[in-house]
Amino acid sequence: MPESPYTVSDVMTHTAVAIGSEAPFKEIVELLDQWKVSAVPVLAGEGRVVGVVSEADLLAKEEFRDDADGPSDRDPGRRAKAGAVTAGKLMSSPAVTVHANASVAEAARIMARRHVKRLPVVDAVGMLQGVVSRSDLLKVFLRPDGEIAEDVRHQVLGRLPVTESLTVSVTEGVVTLGGALPDRSLVPVLARAVRAVEGVVDVRLDLTHR
């Protein structure tokens, strides 16, 4: 198993469905339904990601159905998408992307900040390598408790000599540390280090201070 932090390449879907800019509206809807995804990258040339078409982009057509031809003070960008029939006109561009070597935490922050559910994974020149979704990022919480405990011992306690004698137990991803610490000031440092281990749900400290 890789050491923390896990990267996007550890959890992403390497075989990703994608479309060209001329893909028609109905074909896009059919692809989303067939592959059970909420968005697809739009590619140009030999595979460079130039945008993303999401369910939200497609739903503009339904949103403006009742006033498609009349005046409206609603979002003009959304209104334009309501009249679009190809991926190039529907897509959000530039695409919000992530690199394969980004940490899982970084990908999660990008999704939260940009309000997206899926990120195309690209290389240094923007070529599509795969896709990572919210559900992919949650895979780290499927790690067995034994693996998490071993990582805590090796990656945290093994690197802080004064903590080597602490005990580690993990239940349902919740890490409990027991034993004695020589310095109370180490507690927040230790807790942060344990939380950084992939798959940790919470940290409980049952510690005494010498």
Q: Please check the confidence at residue 66 and state whether its pLDDT lies above 60.
A: yes
Cα separation, 198 vs 119, in Å, equals: 20
Q: Tokens representing 176? A: 């409990």
Which tens digit of pLDDT belongs to each residue from 135-146? 999 999 999 999
Work out the percent of the chain whose per-residue pLDDT is above 70.
Answer: 93
Q: Give pLDDT, residue 76.
A: 77
Identify the pLDDT of residue 77. 78
pLDDT class for 182, splitting at 50, 70, 90?
A: confident
CA angle, 150 then 1 then 4, to 5° = 75
Mean pLDDT of the 72-92 span: 85
CA gyration radius for the chain?
23
**67 vs 165, higher pLDDT:** 165
The Cα–Cα gap between 20 and 10 comes to 27
Do residues 39 and 114 make contact, with C-beta atoms less than 8 angstroms apart? no
pLDDT more than 90, % of the chain: 74
pLDDT digits (tens, 9 = 90+) for 144-171: 999 999 999 999 998 887 887 899 999 9
Per-residue burial over 122-146, b = 16 or more CB atoms within 10 Å of its CB, e = otherwise: beeebebbbbbbeebbebbeebeee
* pLDDT score of 1 more than 70: no
The kind and range of the H/E element at 49 are strand 48-54
pLDDT of residue 185: 87
